[in-house]
Amino acid sequence: MQVFAGGPGRFELFEDGSATALALECGGDGSAVFTASAASGDYRAAGGAGIPRMDGRLLLQYGSLENVLEHIEDVSGKKLKENLNANKDLAILSKKLATIIRDMPIEFNEEAYIVSPDKAKLSEFCRQHEFKNVMNRLEVLFPEEDGLGFGMVVEHMMPEYHVVADPEEILAVIAAVEEERQMYFSPLIKGRVPDLSIEGLAVSLGDRLVYIDAKMRNWDKVLSLLENDNVAKITHDIKPVYHICPLLSGQIFDVMLAAYLLDPAANASAYGLDSLMSTHLGQESPPTDLAAGEKTAVWSAFCIRQLEPKLREALENQNLFKLYEEIEAPLLAVLASMEHVGIYVNKKHLEKMSAEVSLHIEELLKNIYVLAGTEFNVNSPKQLGEILFERLELPSGKKTKTGYSTNAEVLEELRDQHPIIEQVLSYRLWMKLKSTYLDGLDNLIDEKTTRIHSTFNQMVTATGRLSSSDPNLQNIPVRTAEGKKIRELFEPGEGYDYLLSADYSQIELRVLAHMSGDKNFLEAFNEGQDIHARTASEVFDIPMDQMTAEYRGKAKAVNFGIVYGISDYGLSRDLRISRKEAAAYIASYFEKCPGIKTFIDGVVEKAHKDGYVTTLFGRKRYLPAIHSSNYNLRTLAERMAMNTPIQGSAADIIKLAMLETKRRLEQANLKSRVLLQVHDELVLEVVDAEIEIVSSLLKQAMQNVVKLSVPLTIDINIGKNWAAAK
C-alpha cells in the first residue's frame, strides 16, 4: 500500500493481485469516503442515510461534499441532480454524523493506556493451548524486563548423545542403571500388535544420553535389565514394551499415564512429550531434525528424565498417586496381555454373515422405496428429509439451510408415525454394523494368529472407563438381535472350548446405593430384591406382588436416567410420556428416595465449589464449564458431576477386578485367560475342565474385590460364542 497525503484529502493506493484501488477521504476528516476500483470500473462513494451512493467522480471533480452540493446545477444527469437537490440536508447531516470529533476537551494521559498483561498467566495459557506463534508475537510486543518476558518458543537444540559402539559399553550402561536403580529410557518400537519389535532404545544416565542398537551383541542383557525387579522403569507409554518384554518388572512410572490422571479430559495430543514439556516445564519446541529414529528416542529419554519428578510431585499433591500405583500402573500389563492374546473370529462365518446382511440391506431398501413410492438415496439426509416431510407429510422440526433434520433423535420421535421409519432405522443400523464390523473385522484378522487384536485404551475417557479400538467393542449393541449376530462371530480359539462372560449386575446402581446411603436402595440390594421393581413400588405406590412389567420398565428408565442426570424432557422422550408426567415421576422418585436427592445435590454443590468431582478411589474429573455463564454448558457440566463419581467408581472397580482375576488365574496355574473387557463385563477363553474352578475364582475375585455397603454380584454365562455366553 502507498499513501499520498496533502491538501484537503488523503489518498491510499492498494494493490491486490491485478486489481488496483483508490481510497479518498475528502476533507481529511474521515467523512465521505470514496473508493474506486480499476479492476471493476466501480467508482462510488459511501452515501449518507436516505441518499443513494454518490458517484465517486463528483468527489474527484469537486474535492468535497460541500463543493459537490454547491455545483449541483453543473452536474449532468437529471435523476442524479434531482436526488442531490432532494437530499442536501440529509447529506450534510450524514457527513456530520460520520465525522469523528477530535477537539473534545479531554486530558490525555499516555500512561493510563499502556497494556500491562499478567505475563505469567498469559504465558501459561499460551503454553497450555499451544499458541506458540501468539507467544512469539507477545514477546515482541512485551519484551523481557527483569526476567518477566514470555520466553519465546524457539527450537531446542538436539542434546548431545553417544551411540554405543562397543558391546562392552552396554555392560557399563547396565551397571550405571543398576547402581542408580532407575532406568529412564525410550524404546524405538516398530510394527503392530502382536508383531511389535524393538530396534533400540535411548537411556538417560544423569547428565549423559546414550543410544543402544538392538542388533548389537549383549542386547539380551538390556532386555534382562527390563526384567530386573530392583530397577524402576520410567518412560512414556510403556504398554507396547510389555508386548516385547512381558516379564517387564520393577516399579513403573509412565509419564503419559501420569499426565492423563492429572488432566483426564484433555485430548490425546496433550499427553505427547512435546505438549508435556511445554505445559509442565514451559520448555522450548523440540528439534525439527528428529527424522532419524535414534534421535527421536534420545530426545524422548531427555524429556522423560525432566518430566518424571514434576509429574510424580503433581500426582502426590493431587492425592492421585495411590490411584496410579494401585490401579492404573498395574493395569498396563493386563491390557497388554489381552491385546497380545487377541480373540478368535470365525472367518468363514464372517463371510457368510456379510453376504446375508448385504441381502437383508437390499430388502430393507426395497421396502423403503415401496413405502416412499419412489427410489431415492436413503443415505442422503436431504433426500430422506424431502421424502419424509414433503412427500409423506410427516411432522417435522424446523427446516434449516441444509434441509430437514433426519438424525436418530428425530426418527425415534416419528417411529409410530409411519412404517418407513422403522425400516430406515433398521437400514442405518445394519449399514453401520456391516461397515464397522462385518467389513472391518475381516481386515483386522491377523494372518498368523487368525485372531483380532483390539487395542484397549486406558487414557481416553474422562471418567476412567476403558475404551477399545480396531474394533470398537464397546459400541456393539448389547440387547438387540443385530448386536447378537455380531457377537456370534467371536468364538474360542484352538485349544479352548468356550467363551465365558462374567458381568457385574447393576454395578452403577449398587455404587449409587453405597455412595448415597439411601435407605430404599440399601434395603433392596441387601435383601436381594429386584431394584427396579422396588423403585416402581415406591414411586408408583404399587405393592411388589402386584408389580407389572410396564411399571418396572418405567422405574428402570428413571433409575438409570437419574444416574446420568436425566431431565424431565429426556425422561418424557425415553418413556414416550408427557413432560409433566415425567417431571412428576422424578419428583416422586426423589421424595421416596431422599438419600439419592441429597447425594446428587451434594455432588453438584461440591463441584461448583471445587471445580471437580472424585470417585470412591480418588480419581478426579475437572469441570471448568461448571462455572460457565452459558446455561447449556453449565448444566451439561452439572450432569457430568452427577454421573462421574458413579460411573468412574464402577470403572475403577472393574479395573481392580481385572487385576485380581489375572492374579488368581496365574496363581492357580490355569490355562483359561481373560480376552476382553467391555463396560462391566469380562470375557474369558476357557477349557472345559476348568469351567467350574474359573467360575468360582471369578466370583471370589470380582464380588469381593472391594467392600461396599451393598453386595457386588456377577452373572456368569458360558457358550460356544460370545452371543451364547451373554
Determine the pLDDT at residue 36.
40
Closest among 401, 400, 369, 364 to 384, alpha carbons compared: 369
Q: Residue 116 is placed in which grid cell?
A: 500491562
Mean pLDDT of all residues in 419-442: 91
Identify which of 140-144, 275-279, 295-299, 400-404 has the greatest average pLDDT: 295-299
- Helix H segments across 162-292? 167-180, 219-226, 239-244, 255-262, 273-281
Closest among 501, 506, 556 to 532, alpha carbons compared: 556
Q: How far is CA 710 from CA 113, 263, 615, 660, in A?
A: 64, 31, 17, 20
Cα gap 375→366, rounded to integer Å? 9
Cα gap 11→524, rounded to integer Å? 84
pLDDT digits (tens, 9 = 90+) for 230-256: 999 999 999 999 999 999 999 999 999
Determine the pLDDT at residue 206.
85
Determine the pLDDT at residue 83.
86
Cα gap 21→36, rounded to integer Å? 5
Residue 209 amino acid letter: L
Beta bridge partners of 457: 467
pLDDT digits (tens, 9 = 90+) for 396-428: 766 777 788 898 888 988 888 999 999 999 999
CB 193 within 8 A of CB 213: no
At 288, is the pLDDT very low, low, confident or very high (cuts 50, 70, 90)? low
Cα gap 665→338, rounded to integer Å? 14
Residue that the C-alpha cell 449541483 belongs to: 72
Mean pLDDT of all residues in 325-348: 96
Mean pLDDT of all residues in 1-30: 37
Whether the per-residue pLDDT at 217 is higher than 90: the answer is: yes
Determine the pLDDT at residue 702.
97
Mean pLDDT of all residues in 450-475: 93
Cα gap 612→614, rounded to integer Å? 7
Please tell me what DSSP assigns to residue 400. B
User: Where are the strands (E) in 647-711, listed by range?
Assistant: 673-678, 681-686
Q: Give the rounded percent of residues in the chain with a pLDDT score beyond 90.
A: 56
> Which one is predicted more confidently, 444 or 289?
444
Whether the per-residue pLDDT at 211 is higher than 90: the answer is: yes
Determine the pLDDT at residue 105.
82
Spatial CB neighbours of 315, under 8 Å, sequence gap ≥ 6: 258, 261, 262, 321, 324
Mean pLDDT of all residues in 58-66: 83
- Length of the chain, please? 726
Beta bridge partners of 162: 210
Cα gap 325→657, rounded to integer Å? 15
Determine the pLDDT at residue 144.
63
Label residues 166-196 b or e (16+ Cβ within 10 Å = b). eeebbeebbeebeeeebbbbbbbbeeebeeb
Cα gap 413→429, rounded to integer Å? 17
Determine the pLDDT at residue 670.
97
Determine the pLDDT at residue 63.
82
Q: Residue 537 is placed in which grid cell?
A: 413400588
CB 375 within 8 A of CB 357: no
pLDDT digits (tens, 9 = 90+) for 556-594: 888 888 877 778 888 887 788 888 988 888 888 888 889
The least confident of 139-143, 642-646, 651-655 is 139-143
With a threshold of 0.85, does the pTM exceed it? Answer: no
Categorise residue 504: left if φ over 0, alpha if ψ from -120 to 50, beta otherwise.
beta
Determine the pLDDT at residue 108.
80
- Helix H segments across 518-630? 519-526, 531-540, 549-563, 568-575, 579-592, 594-610
The least confident of 19-33, 377-391, 657-671 is 19-33
Determine the pLDDT at residue 145.
56
> Which one is predicted more confidently, 401 or 46?
401
Mean pLDDT of all residues in 95-118: 82
Whether the per-residue pLDDT at 22 is higher than 70: the answer is: no
Domains observed in the chain: 2-98 (no CATH), 162-342 (3.30.420.10), 344-452 (1.20.1060.10), 510-647 (1.10.150.20)
Spatial CB neighbours of 212, under 8 Å, sequence gap ≥ 6: 164, 170, 173, 200, 201, 202, 203, 219, 222
Determine the pLDDT at residue 149.
53
* Residue 20 DSSP SS3: strand
> Which one is predicted more confidently, 23 or 672?
672
Mean pLDDT of all residues in 622-648: 93
Torsion of CA 492, 495, 496, 497, to 10 degrees: 100
CA angle 492, 495, 497 (to 5 degrees): 45
> Which one is predicted more confidently, 34 or 690?
690
At 16, is the pLDDT very low, low, confident or very high (cuts 50, 70, 90)? very low
Mean pLDDT of all residues in 128-144: 71
Q: What is the residue-averaged pLDDT of the chain? A: 86
Whether the per-residue pLDDT at 504 is higher than 60: the answer is: yes
Residue 431 amino acid letter: M
At 52, is the pLDDT very low, low, confident or very high (cuts 50, 70, 90)? very low
Closest among 242, 331, 186, 246 to 663, alpha carbons compared: 331
Mean pLDDT of all residues in 1-15: 36
> Which one is predicted more confidently, 54 or 473?
473
The least confident of 110-114, 167-171, 203-207 is 110-114
